[in-house]
Structure 1
Amino acid sequence: MRSEKVVHLSSMASPQVASIAVCEEHGEYQATVARVLSRTFRSPCPHCKAALVAKEKAEAVERQRHELAWKLGDALVPKRFKGKTFDSYQAVNPGQAKALMKCRQYVEQFEQNLAAGRCMILVGHPGTGKTHLGVSMAQAVMSATEHTAAYRTLGGILQSIRATFDGSSSQTEGSILDALVRPTLLVLDEVGASKEAPSDFELSRLFSIINGRYERMLPTIVISNLDVRELPSAMGERSADRLREGGVIVLPFNWESQRGKEGF
């Protein structure tokens, strides 16, 4: 019976030694050099390595966002709202100035809000800038962090789900709901927009979204033209209760509509 001698690579490697290496872009740096068998290995320039890691991380984030946008069937933020940012929001009264400050603060403290699963509710009169600030938060989160964020209207979501029932959609109800649960931040607009009482279909689908995000401790921003006291009836008490946990932030928009006015 033939016996074989197993040689570990570690036993064939020379001890690591420090030496000065030269990077064409960044100049000299302290390198670690080791020999394994007949090959020499030198550690890369730390600046180049950090840049490569950052690039790969950014590309991974972009791929994740593209994949999520594809599953949602559109861009994470619709084209119409791409220009809606904090800087383009015109605060012409004290209420608007306070709302702008609170929304900026929410993004600045996003990691803490994410850890707490803290949601936000923007409620009040139509035309007061709720959608503008909601979209601004989504875009600011994506520009300032590596997280994903999406803006959708409840009516659009329900329409997409209904389209799966007759086979006119390439998606399934499950894939639509899953794509809405996945973003780190979801801005859900036009909740309670219908003048009629919500149907069981609407309440159950909305709860699936809110509860799915609640279980993952992912924050949701809900936008509605209703009074905050009317919102639980429009979205269901179970959904409203999920939003409250984690210390929900409620911002009332109780000034007159600014639509059509110069500078808004």
Structure 2
Amino acid sequence: MFLTVVAVCCAAVAVPLLWNGLRAVRRGARSLTRLLALVAGLSVLALGVLVSVLAAIGTPVSTATLVLVLAVAGYLALVFLVFLGAALTYGHVRVTEEAESLVVLGCGLVHGEVSPMLRSRLDRTLEVFHRSVAAGRTPVVVASGGQGEDEDRTEADAMAEYLVRHGVPSGLVLREGRSTNTRENLRFSRELLQDAGIGGRTLVVTNDYHVMRTAMTARHTDLDARVLGAPTARQSVPSAFLREFAAVLVMHGWWHLGAVAAIVALWAVGFTTGVLPA
């Protein structure tokens, strides 16, 4: 019964991932980051097949191997569920505290203009800015994003134009156009605010899938910040969250490697002492 539940769960997870991945292929996606849903779907499907094969063999060694596979897969699934729950919760908590500045993180342009993903971040920033103005405050807004190899201008310039076009006074928009990753976004934005003599609490705006890693990174850049999440386009959700999960795993790589090593060590002890089939 347990193995049947595992197989059904693998199929239930793999099918939507494969469907999303195939849609990305049809839209012309070629990079690994955009095809993560397809890769993950195939991996989960392969896991289901491996579990079924090991269970069907039925020898003591295959049964012991099955226990190890399920233990490692279960650990990764648990970590992903914790990550997903924390990211969604953190990204959708309504923020009521006041801030002296808003920092919106860039995420790429399309033909020199803001992408749908970036527009979502900017619209969330505009929402918070106009709400602050209505409450009698005028926070500075930092548009943070450098120029990619395939871009003809910085993300900061395109973001600043969008913000001004939607009601933010140009004098309240600061452009940070040097950063190439999240850590640089936060560090260079902090330096820009310091140079402008602006202190106090900062609200950082990104997409909900990116909130958790941004918050962890902010703690290492001495930026007194709270992170807000903007909605992620439905078709981008699987790959975006999977990419962030991989990034968070890498950030704490040694810890997770240690946990997996402990699982393998316990399995080895159980195998050699006869607790598991031998």
**TM > 0.5 fold call:** no
Structure 1 length as normaliser, TM-score? 0.29
Structure 2 length as normaliser, TM-score? 0.28
The structure with more helix, counted as a fraction of residues = 2
**Bigger radius of gyration among the two:** 1
The structure with more strand, counted as a fraction of residues = 1
